[in-house]
């Protein structure tokens, strides 16, 4: 999962990037609204964490602009402003959740995961398809009730596919979700990771299908 941190305090931003990375998120950082708006328009982020007190254009105006442009990324406001008026305005403008600093990292990460699940219509942290189960809260996977060993990239791709069931996930979405500004992934690399996943899922009742020209979909195999 890829998250954009919109925060002008470099110390806070660095802590957030590190905290999300510790939970296997890929995190980018923008220190102002304008670069954040451009990044969110160009990249399919799974979540944006937005401070209100940004220099120049503030976080509330950023949220207004994003929603007016039809950018539906889940937005979690993380700010020192704890007034009711700011909470109401942020939510009315299109934010999906609101947390006040100081905050506890485990709660922030739990809320982030919940927002992402909600945006994909997933109601639980356990994603199950036939014999395959992903537990998003503990970052563990089982296949036919046995632990499934996955690399970080393999987990990221499988998580995206499972959250999208029964829809197709575009290859470009996978590329953007797994990339960082300083470490862009290639479509060929995604193909390699998908191929490795297929080997691990082979003959266990789950298959990753290629939808030519679009991307991938994960399906439960049915017996005739």
The domain spans of the chain are 2-119, 126-220
User: What is this structure's pTM?
Assistant: 0.79
- pLDDT tens column, 92-118: 999 999 999 989 999 999 999 999 988
DSSP assignment of the chain: -EEEEE-S-HHHHHHHHHHHHHTT-EEEEESSHHHHHHHHHHS--SEEEE-S--SSS-HHHHHHHHHHTT----EEEEES---HHHHHHHHHHT-SEEEESS--HHHHHHHHHHHHHHHTT--SSEEEETTEEEETTTTEEEETTEE----HHHHHHHHHHHHHTTS-EEHHHHHHHH-BTTB---HHHHHHHHHHHHHHHTTTTEEEEEETTTEEEEEE----
- pLDDT tens column, 174-201: 998 887 776 778 889 999 999 999 999 8
Q: What is the CATH number of domain 126-220?
A: 1.10.10.10
End-to-end alpha carbon distance in the chain: 36
Residue 182's pLDDT is 66
Both tokens assigned to 196? 């490795």
What is the average pLDDT across 80-89? Answer: 88
Query: Which single residue is written with the structure tokens 């105006």?
Result: 61
CATH: 3.30.2350.10, 3.40.50.2300, 3.30.420.40, 3.40.190.10. Which one for 2-119?
Answer: 3.40.50.2300
Both tokens assigned to 47? 């979540």
Q: Distance between CA atoms of 107 and 190, rounded to whole angstroms? A: 31
Helix axes 152-164, 171-178, angle to 10 degrees: 130
- pLDDT tens column, 44-80: 899 999 999 999 999 999 999 999 999 999 999 999 8
Residue 215's pLDDT is 94
On average, the pLDDT of the chain sits at 90
**Higher confidence at residue 62 or residue 223?**
62
Residue 37's pLDDT is 96
Residue 224's pLDDT is 47
Q: Distance between CA atoms of 217 and 160, rounded to whole angstroms? A: 10
What is the average pLDDT across 151-158? Answer: 91
Give the closest residue to 115 by CA, choosing from 178, 159, 49, 31: 49
What is the average pLDDT across 151-167? Answer: 91
């Amino acid at each position: 999962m890829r998250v954009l941190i919109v925060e002008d305090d470099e110390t806070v931003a660095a802590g957030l990037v590190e905290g999300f990375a510790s939970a296997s998120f890929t995190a980018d950082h923008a220190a102002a609204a304008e670069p954040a708006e451009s990044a969110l328009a160009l990249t399919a982020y799974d979540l944006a964490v937005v401070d209100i007190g940004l220099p120049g254009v503030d976080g509330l105006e950023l949220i207004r602009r994003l929603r007016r442009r039809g950018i539906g990324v889940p937005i979690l406001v993380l700010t020192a402003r704890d007034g009711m008026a700011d909470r109401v305005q942020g939510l009315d403008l299109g934010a999906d959740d609101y947390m006040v600093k100081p905050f506890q990292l485990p709660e922030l990460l739990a809320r982030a995961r919940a927002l992402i699940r909600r945006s994909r219509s997933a109601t639980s942290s356990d994603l199950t398809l036939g014999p395959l189960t992903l537990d998003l809260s503990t970052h563990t996977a089982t296949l036919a009730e046995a632990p499934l060993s996955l690399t970080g990239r393999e987990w990221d791709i499988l998580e995206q596919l499972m959250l999208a069931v029964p829809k197709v996930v575009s290859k470009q979405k996978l590329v953007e979700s797994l990339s960082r500004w300083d470490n862009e992934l290639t479509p060929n690399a995604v193909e390699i990771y998908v191929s490795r996943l297929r080997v691990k899922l082979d003959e266990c009742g789950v298959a990753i299908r290629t939808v030519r020209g679009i991307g991938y979909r994960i399906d439960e195999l049915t017996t005739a």
